[in-house]
Amino acid sequence: MFAVAQTWHPSARVAPRDLKARHQRVSRAHRRGRVVINVAAPSMPATSNREPSADVLDLIAKSTAFCFDVDSTVCVDEGIDELAAYLGKGEEVAAMTAAAMGGNVSFRDALENRLRVMQPTRDSVEAFVKNNPPKLSPGIKDLFDALRRDGKTVYLVSGGFRHMINPVADALDVPRSNVFANDLRFSDTDGSYESFNPEEFTSKAGGKAEAVKHIKKTDGHSVMGMVGDGATDLESRAPGGADVFVGYGGVQVRDAVANGADWFVTDFQDMIDVLGK
């Protein structure tokens, strides 16, 4: 996530509850020469958004749709990093990602540069998808089912690649028409990588916010929410965009999101528990 998070702070909340027991070290050992990453959730900031306020509960109840980030939210991994590792470019792409997060490279240039290094082909992407089924976050399927029972439409809004997001949508019964992600373009002759679709919302900085605004306007949702782990997800809470933002820290806890979210959770069961009330 490369965009800078907003610094808006929600109004008074119900007193926070102790979530210490829920924060466990997440360890991922990658095959095929992948980098081993150990992620320890940092200490939770002592803010008051660990319980939903009455306003947040009201907005959730009134919402007719929810958009979800995919990497480190719906799924426990980061798709572009996983694909890069599969292609033997994991460390190089990770270094480029770190440099981009320093703010010296635009979001679109960072995406283009990493794809140039990775050089995914149609065959390699299809092989990756076949051999790497979606690693869904605990409770996400139950949450999607609960949202739909409550009359809410679910969308996936991701900076990842449609070839990899579509299987996630299929696993969660989300129509592919409700997927907003980047589209890779391959040669019609040999299947080599050519480019990505620059018209996709999430191919540029601020794209997730624009995608949410588009969904809200086009599909006629008067109130809608967004769930995600990163600063680009938090940006979607903007005029004409998401009315309520739920930050998710079950995989990664990012301070800007933990502090800026209207409600911050580390377990999707918390959201399930408030639906239909």
Which residues have a catalytic role annotated? 69, 71
> What is the 8-class DSSP label of residue 261?
S
Q: Residue 68's CB: how many other CB atoms inside 10 A?
A: 26
Concatenating the DSSP letter of every residue in 47-73 gives -S-SS--HHHHHHHHH-SEEEE-IIII
Q: Which two tokens stand for residue 151?
A: 């009359």
Checking 102-111 for CB contacts under 8 A at 24+ apart, the result is: 103/2, 103/4, 105/2, 106/205, 107/2, 107/3, 107/204, 107/205, 107/207, 108/198, 108/203, 108/204, 108/205, 110/2, 111/159, 111/182, 111/196, 111/203
> What is the 8-class DSSP label of residue 180?
E
E strand or H helix at 162, and its extent?
helix 162-171
Q: Which two tokens stand for residue 171?
A: 């696993």
Chain length of the chain: 277
225 three-class SS: strand
Q: What Rg value do the Cα atoms of the chain yield, rounded?
A: 18
1 three-class SS: coil
